[in-house]
Amino acid sequence: MSSKQNKKSSQWTSGSNRNFKLVHQSLTISEINFKKQTIIGSTELTVLPFTNTGKLWRLPLNCKQCRILRVTVNGSHKANNSYVDPTLSICPPETKKRNLEYYDTCHYDAIQSCDSDCSSGAGELVIKIPKAAYDSLGAFVLFENKPLKVMVEFSLEQPKGGVQFVIPPGSASDSPHLHAFSYGLENASRLWFPCVDSYTEPCHWTLYFTVPAHMMAISCGDLTEQLLSADGKKKTFHYTLNVPTAAPCIAFVIGSFEVYPDPVMQEVTHFCLPGLLPILKNTVQFVHEVFGFFEELLSTRFPHSSYKLVFVDQTYQDTSSYSTLTICNTNLLHSNRVIDQVTVTRRLLTRAIAQQYFGCYLLPQLWNDWWLPCGIAGFITGLFCRKISGSTEYQHWVMEEVQRVCQYESEHTLPPLCGTLQVTSASSSSSGPRASIHPHLVSGRELAVLMSKAHLILRSIQLKIGHDLLMQVFHKQLTLASSASQSSDFAHWHNLIISTAGLMKSIQTVSGKDLSHFMEQWVCRNGVPRFHVSFSYMRKKNYVELRLKQDLPRGYSKFVGPMTVVVQEFDGHFSHTIQVEDISTTHELPCHSKIRKSKKRKVPLSHGEEVDIDVSSLDMEVPVLWLRVDPEFQWLRQLSMEQPDTLWHSMLKYERDAVAQVEAIEALEEFPSSTSRDLLRESILNTQFYYKVRVQAAHSLAKLITDTASSGGSPGFLVSVFQKLYGSQAHLTIVRYNDFSDIAAYFVQKAIVQSVAGVRNMHNQCPKEVLSFLWDLFKYSDNQINKYSDGYYFSTLVDSLALTVTPKVAVVPTPLGLDVAKIPVAIMTSESQAILQEIVQGLNIEKVIPSYKHSITASCLAGLRVLQKNGHLPTDSSLFREYASKDNFVEVRLAALKALVDIVQAEHSEGDMNFLLDIVENDIPAVRLWVLQMLASNPPFTRKTESKLNTLTLVERMWSLICVKFSHDSRSRNAAVDVYSALYGRLTPTCLPQGLGIVIDLKEKVARSSLASPALSPKTLISATDDTRPKTISPTPPVSGLLQKELLNSTPSPVIPQVNTTLSCTTLLSGVALGKGVEFCPLDG
């Protein structure tokens, strides 16, 4: 290497503590065994020591749960190694503390101690380079800077994270549904092979996968060759990745897949499990449009020569992006008969492709910069969705995202997106400010909200500097990265890494604007402002006095900056920019309209149209029709606006901005009157309105009807709207044949049904006409001529039926000696009996004609829990436990588990709590994560409440989960921390002695020195309670796939059992078939 190149090498190291550069890595998976769930492989790292640091004697690598078989350097020199993983047990076993403040400190130290970007020489695996390896290179190795080739042979046995083996029950070794894939957080590649698990260490890759001959291996880069073994039993797939890529962006999928080359883009290939090819083709038919849009938007070609989209089962999240590869959940696939899933799937796949540019190609420099590629990917995803769905849908989505962030901020505290704007290097990060966001330290719920906040910040930057200039900034970054990726000199590879400071510099270069203050306020601080806005018209001076008050929570700084206010007057709409500088401010906005006393006026509106407005109902002395603050969401804010109801009426009726209409509808909920009610009715009937505005109007109208029940409010007012839109021409009370060809009308139809079900009378009971309305919908619903599936619509009917259930008013005394679980159905009210019968029928119909994702079954289970919760059925968890078993489809399992979480919260059932924790400890990662998140959102008790579940046993079990059990699954570990925090807060649990945190043995009257001592280990505590736990109910035999296929083909008339009022509730429900053995969702319902 020349002296000039060596100087550049030193410049590269300024962003890292490493005294070497990884220039190439070769990874070989030589054997995979599905029966034993093992992987055997090796990896060769080509590292270049830096001459200015002397010889490289220690090579730190990241590696977890792998067994190191042998390490050699330069082919023949055996090297010693040491392995230490501080995350295996976060807190010392002998500790007496059980509070999260202590845990967080230990967790952060453990993560940082093996993060190669944070500490010098960090890594779980340290290889000692033997002196003989340098001797073999020659005497002038220090001057010539020759590379070292380090070979590590390893095995992976029954991994607890990083790799998922999908083995359906009873599958043979050659089953077509066997498959495996890698997964994890942003730097979790260490879980399945030794590497430098950092975004700041990109290199070239060569990948080899040897798999059974009937399978295929899909990985990153270009497939260069396939080699069949001599005996024909094995096949080797060879991939090369010539674009410098970081280890966190490497992944693989192995299994038997059906292949579908994209018919428009030959570089793109789609893969799915056997039997799903028809719905795969339908799902991905838009993908080529995404590539074309991004290439035009960014003025840059896709950075790779190939791209693979693979759909697998049991994924941790819906999509995971890696270099040239996206791994997706099979449940995202849908046929052309399904409506509800289309938008969800398209947005997720679009974001996955956006992450190929920002996240897999352009990489974050530090964890403080993680928000940047994440935010850009979300931002350009929104731009594509605006193209295909329209600007109205986009604005409404932005509003929902802002509300989501503000809602979370009001209940919790989000960390800042970036800790500092100063140009920091990884080498200084260990002593500098702590990273605000680290995926292994932040819960999944927080990460999701932070992702939303990140793209909203990018959108605010766009509004400040302009769309074209922001696209120039992105184009500049991608152009520099493209030049760097094609260079053989790794000193240029730093252009593949982006940072917050670099973005600010690029923005200032391109636009000439300094956004330092903006970034300090919105990126380096947490919290969102909350504004209370009111105004009054000053007639003498003809101006509007606007009062803006900022509600500042304790410990937060005020938000300042320019804000837009739009005033709609008689003579047009006028935009004003005010400066928010203090907590409470008053602004004078001049009016441009003169007061003219006429009943009708032609008023120019914001969208350019002039309309005749009847102003007779308005205050003729005020020329203001309505006022809006920050209509474009330039701020991430909560806003409460005070206006007279007449102004809200005008805004809803004449303003064409969907966000303004939704704001007006929500505001009218506080003004129950006949005028508000009539206007909401008109909004639902107006097909020119955006469908989500009509949906919101339906929900708000139901609330108004309930609020005015004592003064004549009746559900018939809303029912008449439904009949006018969807009633039969022959008789309005009979619903027409289902026809969902008008998608907007379909969603409005579902919303009206749910809204009617939510209406209550003055006694807070569901009126009988509501039930009659729903019974007619069940009776006359006919999907024979509809080209779309009615699965989601029918599940909406079931949900609406459950929504009508109210707490039982009169409690019928239980006969002496009668078991509560054997209460006769005859004691139930006639309404609850009818609801129960409809739910049972829905469950049985699902076994014959399953709906897409079994949505009807999920709704029926939720309905059963509602009946239990309101006292119409005795609480019994056995049915939910059976539906929660592994034999059922995942959406059905989640619905059953949700019911169990609710039972635990309401009944404090120890058996059900243990059942849920057994799921958490033993189930697939996606299900256990979902259960933990549900428990965190709906804890069975809190620190301030009493519960029989608040025991030492539960404390120890939860502490074991967060400290030891999830050492290889950061998502589940952080979710378990959320549960622990919800139950016990940040301090020592109240069931433990305060102060020392020791356990008192009441029998022997001695104090044990440690809760986690060997004599009282978490494992011992758990096994000690095994005999007290209820046994899991054995599942019924699954229905074979062949039988299901025959049933679908023959489509016999379902046999609906009649409810026998002499049977008990338990007997009635036990007859419901479980319909297990469904491995994948039905094609189209």
Q: How far apart are CA 863 and CA 835, in angstroms?
A: 9
Q: Strands 319-322 and 307-312, how do they pair?
A: unpaired
Q: What is the pLDDT of residue 1044?
A: 36
Q: What is the pLDDT of residue 596?
A: 64
- For residues 312 and 328, the answer to whether their CB atoms sit within 8 Å is yes
Q: What is the pLDDT of residue 1055?
A: 36
Phi-psi label, residue 320: left if phi above 0, alpha if psi -120 to 50, beta otherwise: beta
Q: What is the pLDDT of residue 597?
A: 64
Q: How far apart are CA 111 and CA 185, in angstroms?
A: 13
Of 831, 834, 859, 833, nearest in space to 845 by CA: 859
The model scores a pTM over 0.75: yes
Q: What fold does the segment set 362-426+434-522 form as a domain? A: Neutral Protease; domain 2 (1.10.390)
Q: Give the chain's count of helices (H) and strands (E).
A: 33, 33
Q: Which two tokens stand for residue 112?
A: 């940082």
Kindly report the CATH class assigned to 530-635+642-646: mainly beta
Q: How far apart are CA 1050 and CA 559, in angstroms?
A: 65
DSSP 679-742: HHHHHHH-TTS-HHHHHHHHHHHHHHHHHTGGGT--THHHHHHHHHHHB-SS-TTSBPPP--SS
Q: How far apart are CA 651 and CA 643, in angstroms?
A: 11
Q: What is the pLDDT of residue 1038?
A: 37
Please, what are the averages of pLDDT over each run of 10 residues along the chain (1085 residues)? 44 61 96 96 93 78 96 91 94 89 93 79 89 70 71 96 91 86 90 95 97 97 95 96 96 98 97 97 98 97 97 95 98 97 98 97 93 97 97 97 94 87 50 65 92 97 97 96 90 93 94 94 93 92 93 85 94 93 94 73 79 76 91 95 93 94 96 94 96 98 92 89 93 91 97 97 93 95 95 97 86 46 62 94 93 97 96 94 95 98 96 97 95 96 92 95 94 96 93 60 43 34 33 34 34 36 46 43 46
Q: How far apart are CA 64 and CA 734, in angstroms?
A: 63
Q: How far is CA 190 from the centre of its chain?
A: 24
- For residues 491 and 360, the answer to whether their CB atoms sit within 8 Å is no
Q: Dmax over Cα atoms in the chain, in whole Å?
A: 100
Phi, psi of 522 (to 5 degrees): -105, -25
The full set of domain ranges for the chain reads: 362-426+434-522, 530-635+642-646, 672-804
Q: What is the pLDDT of residue 431?
A: 40
Q: Which two tokens stand for residue 105?
A: 């400190």
Q: How far apart are CA 958 and CA 940, in angstroms?
A: 14
Q: How far is CA 312 from the centre of its chain?
A: 18
